[in-house]
Structure 1
Amino acid sequence: MTESQACHIMDLLGACWMVRSLEQSVSSVSFDKQNNLVAGGWDGQIRKWNSDGDLLWSENLPDRISEILFHKDQIIVTSGLHIVALNAENGQINWQHPLEGSADSAIVENGEIYATSSVYDIEHNDFLESAIWKYSLQGEQKWIIRMDERPWFILSHKSKVIVGLGRPMSGWGEVLPKGEIINHQLSTSSPIMCGTKDSKKVLFGHADGTISTSKATENKFTESVEILQATDNIRVASLEGGILIATDTSNQEMWTAKGSPISTQAVGFISGENNTHWLTRWSGVEGNLEVRNSADGKILAQSKIPQTRTIFSNDSRVVIGSDDGKIHVWEKEMFDRRIQSDGEGATQSTSQRDALKAKLRALRNK
């Protein structure tokens, strides 16, 4: 199947496995290990559906849901100024605590919660102060670390809690269990904008277009790195201005794609022999959803879509939440069947067109 055939035939939104909705714009989506879906909205609504798509519960929290975590029988979220723990079974709030400024992100490591917050000054258009918080699963605050730098992401890797830091210090920080942070400088002093990890190392995306690890510079692009995704075989960087670049683990460019500014991106489930790559763009007027073969960048399918700000994927499903409140879920087996049937249909249509052209040529030659 050629790229042009796929783009023409495949109706991506029509091929989704499930559509659900919130009563507000969707700000965060995630699956748990059983493929139960949880989605949060810009005004604090949070809902859970089981793996078959049945609504289990709905709850209203203080403000925008920006992070959704699952740990045992709890769902832990950041909601506006608060970090909140809910009962995963019925959605009841177990506990919640206000942080200082916006509650940005959180992780669970070694049975404890690490959260980041930041205070933004509208007048100066910059972040004034940030903090890292540690809580027990029961909601007991253990400690707080205040800093001038904003942690642009937090993740755990090989039992270490790592944050990527902005100005003035930049570099990355290792957060110790007892409430200390060790700063590490990188090969560039440019502020970190985003980060991700594969099974071996953490990757940092910088404002000057650099992608680095704790030991070296891996790549340098002309635009800021806004979103970074990685597996053990591929790295995909979204750059300011709408450029998407995929590189292999030797840092060689595999493919690139240009277009409107990129809203979200994720490496998705395997289709055929390779992972899919999912991407949404927003021009300021309209949105577009593109699904590619991650090995060569060829588009498998695409559709118009309202503005989106959140995406999540696992080995069998991809979910995207949009500003119109819609939540679209694609399932691997259904996606594969649709790709295959559309390919067969495209081949049949091409054969029919070729046969018709041959008949017309024969008539002209009589």
Structure 2
Amino acid sequence: MNSFLRGHCARLSVFSVPLWLITRKFDNRGFRGRVVSKPSLESLASFVRDLDSKCTLARLSENHIFAGSHGGELCCWSAESGDLRWRAEVSGPISDIAIDAGRIYATASASLHAFDAESGQLLWSRELEGGSDFVQAWSGVVWASSSVYELEIDDFIEATIWRFDDSGEQLERWTINERPWHFGLHEDGGVLLGLGRPRCGFLRIQPGEKAEHFEFATDSPVTCGACGSAGRFLLGHSDGSISSVGTDEGIEQYVESLVTTIAGTDSGFISGHEDGSIWFDGGVRNVDGTVDAIADLSGDGWASSWDGSESRVSLLAAEAREFSHDARIRHMDSHQNRLIFGDDLGKVILLESAVVKRRLEEDLSSAPENDRNQALRERLRMLRNR
């Protein structure tokens, strides 16, 4: 796309660094042997990019990386080279984006914005009621949700569902008493919402009609959701159960802990839970802390977790691996052979399956990555962002 703004720095060079840091441990009896520490997530990265503040959105498309920040920065990079395509700024935080017909629609703070996908030019903005949450778009129709939070009761008291055309004209709106925790496009041209209390269950809203409420087999509130295979919706609940809506409806429960995140896979789903449990590939894995984000990359599961002081990234494969990181990772997304992470320091990290495989197969006895290499990485990143 010739009209894209070309990034002002070249792609970050790939360092020839090892995955494992070898250290020596001593006590009053002297040397006790070799201790193998966790490799860093960035040692697997094809490149790392930076936002102005904490990452609040990370999304991959076939050719591009989109990331938004708490401060309101929205960036687009080439997924192939890492070159910056464009950068836009609105009042933050960025909550969600949708891509449709050459447009990027973004919810941020209390507004809905439309950007040109090639240049990042702001086309129009519309103020919503309360804080903006989700956005979906299809064939020139834009759906968005916003919610009102009441400090005195420490809970959401209502939400509004909006329907606009691609020029920003409001077509319809619906007000409900619950905040949706999942907001997905339905094949009939409407949207499906997974609800919290008081009603729980889910809503289906179609243009020109009243919202229709449905109950699940469980009365547990919805906490998150995702799109699964064959057009079904996957909704996680606070009791640990997973409901599916669509071609194959039902409810499954493998873990009795609140579902914090869920992602669809070709064979089913991966779910992460508040107690550190992860359901993947027919079994339960456990990590320290709470699972913040999960994704599937070439059939392998990835999960980020936080125990209150330390961030970990887990590779859920035949040979499980764990990687360290210097900040909490709340956002992950995958597409084909790529996976991105967004952390609380504003870093956006890209992994590619072939690169990850090659680096995991490197000789573990190679020399350790030292502080000088790490400092050089940081200096190059600072130069790139000037």
| Normalised-by-shorter TM-score class | 0.7 to 0.9
Q: Decide which of 250, 274, 277 is 1:216's aligned counterpart.
A: 250
C-alpha change, 1:149 and 1:262, in structure 2 (3 Å) is same
**Equivalent in the alignment of 2:237:** 206
The runs of 5 or more residues in structure 2 that have no matched partner are 1-21, 23-35, 368-386
Q: Decide which of 108, 123, 126 is 2:155's aligned counterpart.
A: 126
Q: Provide the rounded CA distance (Å) in 2 between the counterparts of 1:348 and 1:115.
A: 51
Q: Provide the rounded CA distance (Å) in 2 between the counterparts of 1:9 and 1:265.
A: 19
Matched, 1:314 2:325: no
C-alpha change, 1:63 and 1:11, in structure 2 (3 Å) is closer
TM-superposition CA deviations, 1:274-299 (whole Å, max 9, x none):
x1212111122121122221xx5x42
Matched, 1:168 2:168: no
TM-superposition CA deviations, 1:296-330 (whole Å, max 9, x none):
5x424522331122111111211111111211111
Letter in 1 for 2:277: I
Letter in 2 for 1:59: A
Q: Provide the rounded CA distance (Å) in 2 between the counterparts of 1:309 and 1:243.
A: 16
Q: Decide which of 173, 182, 186 is 2:216's aligned counterpart.
A: 186
Q: Provide the rounded CA distance (Å) in 1 between the counterparts of 2:217 and 2:290.
A: 28
**Equivalent in the alignment of 2:69:** 41
Letter in 2 for 1:213: S
Measured after TM superposition, the shift of residue 139 of structure 1 is: 0.9
Q: Provide the rounded CA distance (Å) in 2 between the counterparts of 1:216 and 1:48.
A: 38
Matched, 1:283 2:307: yes
Aligned residue runs from structure 1 range 134-283, under 5 A:
134-159=163-188, 160-200=190-230, 201-214=232-245, 215-219=249-253, 221-246=255-280, 253-268=282-297, 270=298, 275-283=299-307
Is the contact between residue 316 and residue 331 of structure 1 (CA under 8 Å) also seen in structure 2?
A: yes
Cα root mean square deviation, aligned: 2.3
SS for the counterpart of 1:13 is helix
Q: Provide the rounded CA distance (Å) in 2 between the counterparts of 1:232 and 1:308.
A: 24
C-alpha change, 1:225 and 1:89, in structure 2 (3 Å) is same
**Equivalent in the alignment of 1:28:** 57
SS for the counterpart of 2:357 is helix
Q: Provide the rounded CA distance (Å) in 2 between the counterparts of 1:8 and 1:206.
A: 35
Letter in 2 for 1:207: S
Q: Provide the rounded CA distance (Å) in 2 between the counterparts of 1:32 and 1:265.
A: 17
Measured after TM superposition, the shift of residue 26 of structure 1 is: 1.1
Letter in 2 for 1:49: W
Q: Provide the rounded CA distance (Å) in 1 between the counterparts of 2:283 and 2:340.
A: 26
Is the contact between residue 280 and residue 301 of structure 2 (CA under 8 Å) also seen in structure 1?
A: no
Measured after TM superposition, the shift of residue 9 of structure 1 is: 7.6
C-alpha change, 1:308 and 1:11, in structure 2 (3 Å) is closer
**Equivalent in the alignment of 2:347:** 326
C-alpha change, 1:171 and 1:10, in structure 2 (3 Å) is same
Letter in 1 for 2:358: R
Is the contact between residue 40 and residue 325 of structure 2 (CA under 8 Å) also seen in structure 1?
A: no
Q: Percent identity?
A: 28
Measured after TM superposition, the shift of residue 179 of structure 1 is: 4.5
Q: Provide the rounded CA distance (Å) in 1 between the counterparts of 2:121 and 2:187.
A: 33
Matched, 1:103 2:132: yes
SS for the counterpart of 1:196 is strand
Is the contact between residue 254 and residue 279 of structure 2 (CA under 8 Å) also seen in structure 1?
A: no
TM-superposition CA deviations, 1:81-128 (whole Å, max 9, x none):
111111112211101111111110111134311111110111211111
Q: Give TM-score, length-normalised by structure 1.
A: 0.83
Deviating more after overlay: 303-312 vs 39-48? 303-312
Is the contact between residue 82 and residue 99 of structure 1 (CA under 8 Å) also seen in structure 2?
A: yes
Q: Give TM-score, length-normalised by structure 2.
A: 0.79
Q: Decide which of 68, 78, 84 is 1:50's aligned counterpart.
A: 78
Measured after TM superposition, the shift of residue 348 of structure 1 is: 10
Is the contact between residue 282 and residue 307 of structure 1 (CA under 8 Å) also seen in structure 2?
A: yes
Greater than 6 Å deviation, 4+ residue runs: none
Deviating more after overlay: 76-85 vs 229-238? 229-238
C-alpha change, 1:285 and 1:347, in structure 2 (3 Å) is closer
**Equivalent in the alignment of 1:83:** 112
C-alpha change, 1:50 and 1:59, in structure 2 (3 Å) is same
